Amino acid sequence: MPALTDDEVRHRVLAAADQLFYAHGVQSVGMDALRAEAGVPLKRLYQVFGSKEAIVEQVLRQRQQLWNDLVEAAVGTGDTPRGKLLAIYDMLARWSTEDDFRGCLFINTFGELGGTTPRIAEFVRAQKAEFQDRVAALVTEAGAPATLAAQLAILAEGVQTTTAIAGSSDAAGHARAAAETLIDSALPAAGHG
């Protein structure tokens, strides 16, 4: 059997790490578990990644792209600025009903490593800021005050955390209703964008 290329090792390890970190948390998954799940020799794993922290960062980068794609696909379904904003909550409602839903990997990882791994903490902060910036752009497009963006982003983050803890997807519907109230009270009276 030919040796795996670096790209093949990277793909296998990141797929295994994403699944294991999301299901069990970062700290509880050791390099031996990653090696076994990926079917990659431990020496090759370290040759390609160097450290577990590097694997965590790359998993988070992939998750960041996945999140951005989900948000953009949702926003693309909205016909109006208001509809685009509310579509984010519809996406969260769909996602939170998946069988393997465990909340937000960024929030979960920050909870585990944020106090001890500054690079990971900064990456998570940057991802959250990027999402707030995207919501802020939609709020601006809707003609609403800038303060609405932070309120809506907090609701979206709360959906993920509450759903993971409660084990129920009810939070998404409640957050969407709250978002509608906030948006409608913030938008100019004529037409609601």
* Geometric angle at alpha carbon 17, from 65 and 122, rounded to 5°: 55
Question: What was the pLDDT predicted at 190?
Answer: 41
Question: What was the pLDDT predicted at 98?
Answer: 87
* Cα–Cα dist 121/105, whole Å: 12
Q: Within 13 Å, how many C-alpha atoms sit on residue 121's CB side?
A: 8
* Residues 60 and 20 placed together within one structural domain of the fold: no
Mean pLDDT over each residue of the chain, to the nearest integer: 93
* Residues 64 and 30 placed together within one structural domain of the fold: no
* Residues 104 and 144 placed together within one structural domain of the fold: yes
Residue 193 belongs to some domain of the structure: no
Name the residue among 140, 137, 134, 141 with its Cα closest to residue 156: 134
* Residues 35 and 129 placed together within one structural domain of the fold: no
Q: Count up the domains in the chain and report the number.
A: 2
* Cα–Cα dist 118/115, whole Å: 7
pLDDT band at 147; cut points 50, 70, 90: very high
Which CATH number fits the domain that encloses residue 20? Answer: 1.10.10
* Residues 112 and 142 placed together within one structural domain of the fold: yes
Domain limits at 4? 1-50
* Residues 146 and 89 placed together within one structural domain of the fold: yes
Amino acid at 90: D
Q: Which pTM was predicted?
A: 0.91
* Residues 46 and 141 placed together within one structural domain of the fold: no
Q: Is the pLDDT of residue 114 over 90?
A: no
Question: What was the pLDDT predicted at 115?
Answer: 87
* Residues 27 and 119 placed together within one structural domain of the fold: no
Residue 192 belongs to some domain of the structure: no
